[in-house]
Amino acid sequence: MSRKRVVIAGLGDVGLLAAIRLAPHADVVGISVKPGLVSGQELGIRLSRPDDWARDYWIPFDRFRRLDPVRTIQGELTGVDLAAREVVCRGQDGATFTERYDALVISTGVSNGFWRQPTLQSAADVGANLYAAHEQLATARSVIVVGGGAAAVSAAVNMASTWPHKQVDLYFPGERPLGEYHPRIWNRIHRRLQQLGVGLHAGHRAVVTDHFTGDEITNEPVRWSSGQTPAVADAVLWAIGRVRPNTAWLPKELLDERGFVQVTPELWVPSHPEVFAVGDVAATDPLRSSARNRGDALVARNIRARFEGRPLRAFRAPTRRWGSLLGIQPDGLEVFFPTGHAFRFPLWSVEHVVMPLIVRWGMYRGVRENRPFG
């Protein structure tokens, strides 16, 4: 029997892991607008310590050992023919081509700020954007962070840690940030922010237009619909969570009212059992938590089960977000659980156990060293 072909539409954090899991069992084709993994994780470290971030989150595809049998294509998805089971793409040269599939995994993610955009980029483009944002913030004497989610909090903590003499202020609309996390987590992060001297401003809702996306760092005064005096800083980082699903290439029949891909609990698209969706683009639950809770493993397992005529398993979403919030710090890596409790890996264990063994070998099944872009 010939091997089935699986097309992974989007090779970000989740799509990459799904491709790695499926590679031994099918002919896998991965399509990405980037020339490697450009993770959407750890915004704070990306902005304040870009070299550290690039080491762990900006990795050429040919460094992943389990991607060796996967055919990776850099291109922009422009459409899908569900009847013919083909996706339509535009390459870097502007030429259009199609890829046939027996199963399709939609993992194109979301756009969010300047750090998560579905644009075709070379390695040079990615690097230029990475260091331009860092330089803009590094040279600012004062920074305002607008937003109450994990990205905003991480950015405030990491910038204040990296540049202790810089004035950093965090403005958020509610009584506290991190509303999707257990209150214990905010209590712990709150103490950290206070120790770092970050100004905390609750109840501030920024005036933004319907079309404002926060896709660039600005320096104009920030005005508040909640009535406070406008706030001014040399640089304003917008982390307001205006995510837009990268689904313009898909027919509207597959999408919910917000543009996310509708899925069953087993992560397949209703009326199209050969089409699956996973990650931030999939409307699994209000937190779209298949992006962070082993959704890649489930979608790979269910595709194999579909091919073999076995029952599929359902995704069970957690009620709260959890995981690392601040990334690797000088004193190690703190991981939060849904209960609000935390466990800290000391720095030596992060450098010698967590990253090389748990992440590079356990998650990615082997990552080659010293193989830069180009």
Q: What is the pLDDT of residues 126-161, one digit of tens each?
A: 999 999 999 999 999 999 999 999 999 999 999 999
Please list, in sequence order, all residues whose beta carbon lies within 8 angstroms of the beta carbon of residue 133, skipping any fewer than 6 positions away: 46, 47, 114, 115, 217
Backbone φ and ψ of 68, nearest 5°: -55, -45
| 137: amino acid identity, one letter | L
Number of neighbours of residue 124 by Cβ within 10 angstroms: 11
CATH H-level, domain 5-120+244-337+344-359: superfamily: FAD/NAD(P)-binding domain (3.50.50.60)
Report CA Rg, the chain: 21
Does residue 41 have a pLDDT over 80? yes
| 115: amino acid identity, one letter | W
Nearest CA among 273, 296, 313 for reference residue 102: 273
Q: What's the pLDDT score for residue 215?
A: 84
Does residue 370 have a pLDDT over 70? no
Does residue 366 have a pLDDT over 90? yes
Q: What's the average model confidence in pLDDT over 15-38?
A: 97
5-120+244-337+344-359 with 123-238: one CATH topology? yes
Does residue 68 have a pLDDT over 50? yes
Q: What's the pLDDT score for residue 287?
A: 84
- Mean pLDDT across the chain, nearest whole number? 94
In the three-class reduction of DSSP (H, G, I as helix; E, B as strand; rest coil), residue 371 is classed as: coil
Backbone φ and ψ of 210, nearest 5°: -60, -25
Q: What's the pLDDT score for residue 286?
A: 87
Where are the alpha helices (H) located in 33-93, listed in sequence order?
A: 43-48, 50-57
Q: What's the average model confidence in pLDDT over 318-346?
A: 90
Does residue 374 have a pLDDT over 50? no
Pairing between strand 27-32 and 71-81? parallel
C-alpha 280/C-alpha 283 separation (Å) is 8
Domain spans in the chain, listed from the N-terminal domain onward: 5-120+244-337+344-359, 123-238
* CATH class of the domain comprising 123-238: alpha beta
Q: What's the pLDDT score for residue 241?
A: 82
Q: What's the pLDDT score for residue 255?
A: 97
Q: What's the average model confidence in pLDDT over 3-23?
A: 97
CA atoms within 13 A on the CB side of 31: 28
Q: What is the pLDDT of residues 183-225, one digit of tens each?
A: 999 999 999 999 999 999 999 999 988 778 778 999 999 999 9
Contact 15, 66 (CB under 8 A): no
- Looking at the DSSP bridge assignments, the partners of residue 77 are 89
Q: What's the pLDDT score for residue 371?
A: 55
